[in-house]
Every structure is written in structure tokens, then in C-alpha cells.
Amino acid sequence: MQFPSPRQVPIRRSLLALIAVLIHSHALAQPSRTSGPDGFREFATEHDGNIAAGRTLFTSMSCVQCHSVDGSANKAGPDLSAVGDKFRKADLITSVLDPSSMIAVGYDNTVLTLKDGSMASGVIKQATDDWLELMGADAKPVRIATKDIAKRETTPISLMPTGLQAAGSPADFANLISYLGSLHMNNAGIEREEIPKAGNPVRLDSFFDDGITLNEPLWFGELPGRKDAHVVLEHRGMSWIIEKKPSGDVQTPFLDLTKVIRAGGATGLLSMAFHPKFPEDLRYFLKYQIVEDGRISTLIMERRFSPDLKGDSGAPPRQLLKIPSTTQDHNGGCVAFGPDGYFYFGMGDTGPQRDPQGHSQDMSLLLGKMLRIDVDHQDEGLPYAIPKDNPFRNLDGVRPEIWAVGFREPWRFGWDLQTKDLWVGDVGQDQYEEVGIVRIGENHGWNVIEGFHPYSERYRRVGEFLVPPVWSYSHRLGSSVTGGFVYRGKKAPQMFGWYVFADHESRRIWALTQTDRRLDKLVEIGQAPTRAVSISQTRDGELYLVGFNSGKIYHLALDVVDPVPLEIHVLAATAEKEPHTAKYTTERPDEKWAAMPFDDSAWKESVGGFGTQGTPGGVIRTEWSERDIWLRREFTISESGQPDPKSRLALRIHHDEDAEVYLNGIEVANLPRWTQGYIEVPLPAEAAQSLRSGRNVIAIHCHQNTGGQFIDAGLLEYVSRSPAKP
């Protein structure tokens, strides 16, 4: 493959590579005292940088020429206004140090060789059959006629060279990472949702033995006809049959498509469905992407199992559909047979970002739709048939496969085994994710609406009703919804009828109930230990979570979940909403400073939290810039407000950096390093027992090592509202 020169390549595909390019080109003048990227990674991981310094660095390096931070997304690179919500600090670090490992979906660099021998490259901002519009680092769109293009390629490797961070110091690097991590949706006035937590969370049990090795699994399901046998698909094209046996689970290769598919980002081996009559009918169906002549296409393929059910038959596959993509974006993720026996699959809008050509509302395209076909019959000229009750079957200019309209990226969907409702998790654009119930012929709104919120009027059809989701959440809670299933198993009767789903990035797992597609109850039931790429349902109604990074399949032990939210009693408030008064000193006090009877009358008095402006997540009410601070704050518990002995007590704290905390003279926690927000630490039994009606004291010593600094803490009581078991 011939790569264009740096002069010809204005765009880089990873989320933050343009930032790093500009770092290299402009400003990080200090020589590095840390050799190699691992040194920068370690420093930025262990040290919290200064947000204000990082912001200055970001703007002075002309990063704003390539990245917006106001939600407008009108530059060549990704909008970074909520990047701190979408990515953890470790991911931000990796995206700069190892650009090719974290390619932002929708920002691949497209390289065009024109018929006159010249070349052009950039991010695709718009595309039609007649032209492509690329944008380079100068933020100027360039439109190129399709007829003038001789060759089109998508570069598989980031065009940003590695090692650019060495142009500056580790402290500069940490400052930049901290600034990026501080960019949140609520900075733009969007309030953060507070989802109640379950009285008792879900337990995730590893389903297979530790000896089973999976690399980025994406789909999991039972193998019909073979007891205790399951199929797992991997993102990059490998498939496995895993059989559970008393002597140890056995993993056998099933189908290898690694040399066929285009894996990366939103493309790869995405989903599988067995024929409803399997194994009587040995057909199974796959969805994946390939690249031909530089263009990505989604394939729906029919294959056959061997009669002994030990693997693929080896017979040539049959192509049902080939759907060209505009970019590598959003191809939809799921295929499945519905209760009616027909074959359903979802297609995303395929980009570019924000769907500027209105693919999802264009009825002449399969893009941005839920689709339904009959794989047991064939209409003239088709390898399948169109079901007679498909809603748009006989309309001119409309694809008859369309079952419902208006989706951006219907990643995972599934039916309620009892009501037959079809639930879809649709991945959002800039601000909101959504889950909803989809019915035949409906329009679910993208890109006219995103979640419950207006997005663009460009493709709105006058008088057409747009169906809202059951629930939509902002990117403060997660940035890539993974649809799930309504639980209909027998092991957890208290969860019967709850829709269970997750978010791929934040790893949160939720459960909700609804009536007439309106939200009734919503509770966070846990958090996965890894990115939650898929939720699967077995024939007995049990649910499983596919762990993308961990390479594990987890059974969701819902029987331990108490869906009744815990009631929160604030015993000592933090400074998040209102200031609280505390005594403090920055001079080392007497060694008994944390004890209840200690006399702190000579200490200063001010309001918390304490720290320096610009510290990530800090609510600064009193400036503290010295190396150490010692705090004592009193709070009173009334006789009637004494904590219930059965309740859970937790310290709510945001510390930057090292903190030691005492309650009534008893050590509660010794917390190294820092947090980027408030966390909760369970209270040890001895400390909990020290609480009394009347005066109580929280005492804290916080030590700052480098970068920003902040300290604030409070005390919470979580009380179960579920009736006591007899």
C-alpha cells in the first residue's frame, strides 16, 4: 500500500493524534527526563496534571483548529467537549502514546488516488453517490467527484508517528491528559443524572473455566442440539465451540474468517443466528464486514453446520445481502430470528458522523433501519423473500426489507419471551444513548431526534410521528449502549420482567421496567469488570454478559439482586452541593490531632472543599496550595437519626492526593494517589460502631505530591427499603 506524504495527509484517525502532532510541532519544549512511552504512561498515570496548564497548552498549540470543545463537531477531528465522559484516563493516555490502538470510530483517514495521478486524503464529512467531501487539518472541506476517483483506501495504521510525546516533559503530558479528562457534558450545562443503586448488586460469575482463552469475544450463544455446548464469536473473525464438561471445559475451533473480514472499530465478525429449526435445518447466519476496492461492505451470509454438529460443513456459503458502507461507522451489530420465524437484522447509518446525508430517514436505503426477510423462500431476483406483512412492501422507491426506520447504530436487540416486544439498544451520537421497544412500521427518529432531544430538522417529514425511547441517558453515564433482554428465567423471581442492559464504555449494568413504553422503575444493578459488548439469553431465560477486554463470558447471577433502591441518608454532607465548615491547619499538628477530644480551637476555620482551582472534579471553596493539610469537621447526629445497625455506612470522598481519614479517632481509610471524582469507601465495623448521637468528628490528613490538589469528604448511610425476610 502506498501512503501519501505528511503534506498530503491532513487528518489522523485516532481520537487525540492531532493533539499529539501539534504537541510535536509547536510547544512542548522541555526535554524529557523519562525514557520511552512507558515512562510517560507511568508518570501521567501516577500524577494528576494541572487542568489550567493543560488548557493553555491545548489552545496555544492550535489544537482548536482541529478539534472543537463546544459540541459543534465542525472541525476535522473529533469533538472533545465530553471526552472525559467517554474515556477513562488510561484510554486518553493510550490514544496519544499508541495512536493506532485506539481509532475513533468515524475518523479513519480516507486516501484517494485520482485519475489525474494526484492524491487527496482526510476524514469523510459528507458523501453521496456522486461525490465525497473530505476535511483536513485546516478545517476546509474539499469535495471530489466520484467519477474522478481511481482508487479509494482506508489506511489501517494511524498516520501519526509514535514517540511524539518525547518532544515534551512528562509533566506537560500529564497536564494535557488532565485537561482532556476534565471535559464533561455538565460543563455545557447538562445536568448529571443520578440513577439509584440496587439494594444488592448483581454477581458476575465466570461461565467457563480459566483455561478457556478468548480474544475480544463479541457474541455468545447456545449451540442447539448439543447439550452444554456454546458458540463464541471473536471480533477479528475466529469462532469457537466451547463444551462444558465435569472434567474441564473444552474449546474447539469452529470457523476461521480472520483472513476474510475487516476487523477494527465498528467492523468485524459481529453476530450469528441459528435457523429456528436447527439442527433439523443446519443453516446458520453470520453478519460481518469486508473491504473491496477500498470500500467497506456488510455481508449477511448463510452457511451450514456439519451433520455431527462439530463445526462448519465446509460447503460454500451463500450471500444473502451485501450492503456498501459510506465509512467504517455504524453497521449495526445484531442478527436474530424473531418469534414469527423471520430473519431480522439491524443496519446503522454507516456515517459519516451525524448522518449528514440522512441515511436513516432515506427509505430508498437499508441504512439506519431494522430489516426483516424470509430466508426460507425466494422472490424473483432475490436470494430471499419479502414477508407479506412487511410495512413498506409495495411502496415505490422504498426498500421492501425495511421493518422500522430511524436508527443510528442498533447494536444489540432481543425479544421479550413473554410479551414478544422487540427491545433495541441504539448507540447515540454526541450526547445521548437510548433503549426502546420497536414495532412494525415505526420511525424512531434519528437524526431528527437523539433520545428525547431534537437534533436536526433537515430530514424531518412533516406530520410523521417519531417514537421516543423508553429511556435515554447522557454520556455522563456511558457513551455506547449495549442492548439486553427482559429477564424471564426462574432463578431470580424478583427480577422477572425487568429489562437488563449495559453500557460498553462505562460498564454500568441497569435494569428497568416499563408500562406502555413509559419508564416505571430504573436501578443500577452493578458494573462489569470489563467493557460490556453484548448480553445474551439462553433458552432457560438466563442472561450472560460478554466481556470484550477480559475475554470472559459472565453469567449474571440476578438471584442476588435486590432491585429496590437503597435509601440514602446523609450523615455528613460533602461540598458537592453546599459548603460545610471545617477547622484546618497546614502546619504539622500534635500526634493526637485525629482524636475526639483534641483541641483544635487554634486552627483556622473555613468551608470545604479545599484545593487548587483546576483540579479535576474538585469543588474548590477554600484555596489550599501547601503540601499538606489537616482537617477536622464536626457533625451532629440526633437521637432519632442514629444509623440502623443493619444499614451500610460509607465514606464519600474525593482526594487528590494521599489521604488518611479518621472517624471519632478510629482510622477509616488510608487512600494513596487520587480520584478524579467522588468515590465511596465502606466504613469499617469499628468505625461505624463509634458513631453516637450528638457530636462526631471526621479528621483528615491529605498530602499533595504533584499537580492539582483537593480534599473533601462526607458520610452516607444506605438503608434497604425492602421488607425484612422472615
- Give DSSP secondary structure letters for 490-522: SS-GGGTT-EEEEETTT-EEEEEEEETTEEEEE
Q: Which grid cell is 344?
A: 431480522
Lowest mean pLDDT among 102-116, 529-543, 566-580, 709-723: 102-116
Q: Would you say 697 and 663 are in contact if contact means Cβ atoms under 8 Å apart?
A: yes
Lowest mean pLDDT among 421-425, 435-439, 670-674: 670-674
> What pTM did the predictor assign?
0.83
Closest CA to 329 of 359, 301, 284, 285: 359
Q: What order do you get walking across the sheet with 694-703 strand by strand?
A: 604-608, 580-585, 628-637, 694-703, 658-663, 666-671
Does 432 score more than 70 pLDDT? Answer: yes
Residue 246: CB partners within 8 Å, gap ≥ 6? Answer: none
pLDDT of residue 418: 97
Does 173 score more than 90 pLDDT? Answer: no
pLDDT of residue 164: 66
Measured over the CA atoms of residue 322, residue 328, residue 332 and residue 334, the dihedral's sign is positive
Residue 646: CB partners within 8 Å, gap ≥ 6? Answer: 720
d(CA 210, CA 213): 8
Closest CA to 220 of 505, 519, 546: 546
Does 699 score more than 60 pLDDT? Answer: yes
Q: Which grid cell is 442?
A: 415505526
Q: Would you say 219 and 270 are in contact if contact means Cβ atoms under 8 Å apart?
A: yes
**Predicted confidence (pLDDT) per residue in 339-365, tens digit:** 999 999 999 999 999 999 999 999 999
Task: For the chain, give the number of residues.
Answer: 726
Q: Which grid cell is 244?
A: 462444558
Does 62 score more than 80 pLDDT? Answer: no
Query: Strands 610-611 and 622-623, how do they pair?
Result: parallel
Closest CA to 469 of 408, 502, 520, 423: 423
Q: Which grid cell is 294?
A: 477500498
**Predicted confidence (pLDDT) per residue in 275-320, tens digit:** 999 999 999 999 999 999 888 999 999 999 999 999 999 999 999 9
Q: Which grid cell is 624?
A: 489550599
DSSP character at residue 468: P
d(CA 707, CA 140): 37
Secondary structure element (H or E) that encloses residue 44, with its range:
helix 36-46
Q: Looking at this protein, which amino acid is placed at residue 709?
A: Q
DSSP character at residue 27: I
Measured over the CA atoms of residue 320, residue 324, residue 325 and residue 328, the dihedral's sign is positive
- Mean pLDDT, range 237-247, rounded to an integer: 96
- Residue 723: pLDDT band by 50, 70, 90 thresholds? low
Q: Would you say 132 and 110 are in contact if contact means Cβ atoms under 8 Å apart?
A: yes
Q: What order do you get walking across the sheet with 229-234 strand by strand?
A: 217-222, 229-234, 238-243, 250-256
Closest CA to 711 of 664, 667, 661, 666: 661
DSSP character at residue 23: I
Closest CA to 138 of 58, 76, 71, 57: 76
Secondary structure element (H or E) that encloses residue 534, with its range:
strand 532-537
pLDDT of residue 226: 96
pLDDT of residue 645: 84
Does 399 score more than 50 pLDDT? Answer: yes
pLDDT of residue 158: 61
The per-residue pLDDT of the chain, averaged, comes to 88
pLDDT of residue 30: 39
- Mean pLDDT, range 649-664, rounded to an integer: 94
Does 421 score more than 60 pLDDT? Answer: yes
pLDDT of residue 708: 74
- Mean pLDDT, range 431-443, rounded to an integer: 97
**Predicted confidence (pLDDT) per residue in 31-58, tens digit:** 344 458 888 898 888 887 887 888 888 8
178 vs 543, which has greater pLDDT?
543
| Cα dist from 15 to 79, 104, 160, whole Å | 9, 5, 11
pLDDT of residue 362: 98
Closest CA to 720 of 638, 641, 648: 648
pLDDT of residue 396: 96
d(CA 318, CA 316): 7
The pLDDT > 90 percentage for the chain reads 65
pLDDT of residue 177: 87
Q: Would you say 720 and 199 are in contact if contact means Cβ atoms under 8 Å apart?
A: yes
pLDDT of residue 186: 55
pLDDT of residue 192: 53
Does 11 score more than 90 pLDDT? Answer: no
- Mean pLDDT, range 171-178, rounded to an integer: 86
What angle is formed at CA 79 by the lines to CA 76 and CA 81, rounded to 5 degrees?
155
- Mean pLDDT, range 408-414, rounded to an integer: 97
pLDDT of residue 103: 64
